[in-house]
A and B are shown apart, each in its own frame.
Chain A
Amino acid sequence: MSGTFIGMPSFPEAARDAVRDTTLRGNLRHATHTIRAKRAGAVAELDDWAQLREAGKQIKDRTLRHLDRHLEQLERAVTAAGGTVHWAADAEEANRIVADLVEATGETEVVKVKSMATQEIGLNAALETAGIRAYETDLAELIVQLGDDLPSHILVPAIHRNRGEIRDIFRDHMQDWGRPAPDGLTDRPADLAEAARLHLREKFLRAKVGISGANFMVAETGTLVVVESEGNGRMCLTLPETLISVVGIEKVIPTWRDLEVFLQLLPRSSTAERMNPYTTMWTGTTDGDGPRAFHLVLLDNGRTDTLADEVGRQALRCIRCSACLNVCPVYERAGGHAYGSAYPGPIGAILTPQLRGTATELDASLPYASSLCGACYEVCPVAIDIPEVLVHLREKVADQGGAGHRLERAAMRAATWLLDHPAALTAGERLASRTRKLHPKRLPGPGAREWTNSRDLPELPDRPFRDWWKKNHA
């Protein structure tokens, strides 16, 4: 990723532009509606979905309760199996550890499996600074990287692009990164997939260093698990001599058996499949099979702050399935970029302000990027009550003050006075009714003007309700 989320405007500003982009809205609508129906079908196949969901929630909660112990157990198991464990308190430290490890191999390029953690810490840009080129190998990440773009979805980072746009990006930019796109490339998805296969093949075969994240880390065995579809993950996890995995500390699960829950919950929730095409599991290093050196970088970067919040910590249960994005009416219209981080959609609206804090205007606006309809909570496979956390974070943002909240308090004080003085209220209501033909369709003034940009003001009746009641029922 060469783009950056740094310095992005607040959610409402970014969303306003996105909502006006009709191609973007069409692409998002098509993709989210396709997957929505499929997910519902995949989930309906399992009679015990509610029990699996509850078990997933409980396993994660129990793990988080003793996160220190599980991390220490994981460290021992990975080390005993031939791996090396590193600890990174923040993004900068994680990036430095990875850059140093790559430099120690003498290599100047790496192949990458799609990873949310490395997006979060901006690893590619950090490696670039260190003179190391990172090749994204997931198809959607490749589209984002070639298009000098930003990811907009957890599972399908290029969801904002349709097939025609992808064809153009491949045709124009593959040559800058290696093997050019085939002549006469069409926009058929199968042809686009074939072009990606050809473009990346030689990179996989010569790669000496692979970088990944992980979906799960099993504490008792030291096993890491990566679920994927294309086989690019298998390539990066299997062929290089050195493998570096950057994984958030909340990805640990206590036991091997726990996978029986999460491997049922995750594929059905994310790609709506009974099982994703490929899952790789490895424990340390194995003689003669896969990388000879394995490094695990355990990443905090705000997770322990999140863990300290008794309402907000449930966000750490997230298994990054992206079901909440696909059902969210706000995400569907605003798109992923407006959320200004690697984590868009409802989960991003609660995760980003907790990982990064709410000091910037963007991060403080994220808890408001929701209508609180609750669809996200309903589909969440680990039952994260996203609306509850949103409201909780709004409270925190309101407590820290700011212009909007001062105006809101002034308005509430005025309303309180009016409701305490019935005569003034009646006079005001009558005046409003009599002048209703003169009312503008949109409100003037900062804040109010923006509010009515995308909303119609309700029409006032020709007389106040209390007058109507007196006349008809007195």
Chain B
Amino acid sequence: MTSPSSSRDRVLGRVRRALADVPEAPEVARDYLVSHTPDDPAGVLDLLHDNLVDYRAGVHRSTRQGLPALVGRLLAERGARTVVVPPGLPGAWLAGSDARQRFDDVPLTPAELDSTDAVVTGCALAVAETGTVVLDAGPGQGRRALTLIPDLHVCVVEAPGQVVASLPQALPRLDPTRPMTWISGPSATSDIELDRVEGVHGPRTLEVVLVVD
């Protein structure tokens, strides 16, 4: 039996021996595109919209003023009677809903989350080319479990400030030290005959609201 520290030395030693006479690798040529999309906020937003729809998310547009009514309608249409409210979510967003609000100030248990119908959050960023919303546990998003267990996730994206076109534009705006969830459509699987089916363990319904003023 080897002690942990000696395995570390063994592995690193083997790596160094394997590389002893390997020439220096060249600098990485990053001549790929920073974005595949023309720099036009309206076009980028349309692309985000289309790509989210393509992956079976519901997509809605709203003004800031119309947001409470829209969120209320989306929750009601899906029959959500209870909703998780992450810390820092603007109170106005739920002003148009009569769903009972469950706050996470004292952390909800997995079982409590499982018995809650929906969650409403903001996001850190959305990426148009991939149809992705990124959550980084910031204000109005909460810890990762909140958007995982309830079966309906309503996610509010503020355009154009939170929308970027591409991944190379997205990564510099994110803080890798924060726990992150990237979401591109509702839960899905390709495990049966390599064909995509929506709805496995994550929320089976994803409604994205694009706020445009």
Spell out A's residues near B (CB within 8 Å).
27, 30-32, 34-35, 45-48, 51-52, 54-55, 58-59, 61-62, 64-68, 71-72, 81, 86-89, 93, 97, 137-140, 143, 155-156, 158-159, 162-163, 166, 189-190, 192-194, 196-197, 200-201, 204-206, 218, 221, 223, 229-232, 234-235, 238-239, 249, 256-257, 259-261, 263-264, 267, 271, 273-283, 286, 288-290, 298, 300, 304-305, 307-308, 310, 313
Spell out B's residues near A (CB within 8 Å).
2, 4, 7-8, 10-12, 14-19, 22, 24-33, 36, 51, 55, 107, 110-111, 114, 127, 129-132, 137, 143-145, 148-149, 167-168, 170-172, 176-203
Q: A58, B114: Cβ atoms under 8 Å?
A: no
- With A and B bound together, what is the CA distance between A308 and B13 in angstroms? 12
Q: A58, B200: Cβ atoms under 8 Å?
A: no
Q: A232, B180: Cβ atoms under 8 Å?
A: no
Q: A279, B195: Cβ atoms under 8 Å?
A: no
Residue of B nearest to A221 (CB): B176
- With A and B bound together, what is the CA distance between A156 and B182 in angstroms? 22
Instruction: Return the 4 tightest CB-CB contacts between A and B, nearest first.
Output: A231-B202, A231-B201, A304-B14, A275-B130
CB-CB < 8 A to B194: which residues of A? 31-32, 34-35, 156, 159
Q: B12, A71: Cβ atoms under 8 Å?
A: yes
CB-CB < 8 A to B172: which residues of A? 257
- With A and B bound together, what is the CA distance between A61 and B22 in angstroms? 11
CB-CB < 8 A to A279: which residues of B? 180-182
CB-CB < 8 A to B131: which residues of A? 274-275
- With A and B bound together, what is the CA distance between A234 and B184 in angstroms? 14
Q: A281, B192: Cβ atoms under 8 Å?
A: no
- With A and B bound together, what is the CA distance between A298 and B11 in angstroms? 9
- With A and B bound together, what is the CA distance between A283 and B180 in angstroms? 9
Q: B201, A230: Cβ atoms under 8 Å?
A: yes
Of the candidates A31, A46, A194, A278, the one whose C-beta lies within 8 Å of that of B182 is A278
Of the candidates A55, A67, A234, the one whose C-beta lies within 8 Å of that of B29 is A55
Q: Identify the interface centre among B18, B25, B185, B199: most chain A CB within 10 Å of its CB.
A: B18
Q: B167, A260: Cβ atoms under 8 Å?
A: yes
Q: 28 interchain pairs (CB within 8 A)?
A: A31-B193, A31-B194, A47-B36, A51-B31, A54-B31, A55-B30, A58-B29, A62-B26, A64-B19, A71-B15, A89-B7, A89-B10, A190-B198, A192-B192, A193-B189, A196-B200, A200-B201, A205-B114, A223-B176, A229-B189, A235-B201, A273-B196, A277-B55, A277-B186, A278-B202, A304-B14, A307-B14, A313-B18
CB-CB < 8 A to B189: which residues of A? 139, 193, 229-230
Q: A58, B18: Cβ atoms under 8 Å?
A: no
- Given known A-B contacts A58-B26, A290-B179, A304-B11, A86 and B4 have beta carbons under 8 A apart: yes
- Given known A-B contacts A55-B32, A68-B12, A277 and B185 have beta carbons under 8 A apart: yes
Of the candidates A47, A67, A196, the one whose C-beta lies within 8 Å of that of B33 is A47
Of the candidates A158, A193, A239, A288, the one whose C-beta lies within 8 Å of that of B197 is A193
Q: B148, A231: Cβ atoms under 8 Å?
A: yes
Q: A261, B184: Cβ atoms under 8 Å?
A: no
Of the candidates A48, A52, A281, the one whose C-beta lies within 8 Å of that of B180 is A281
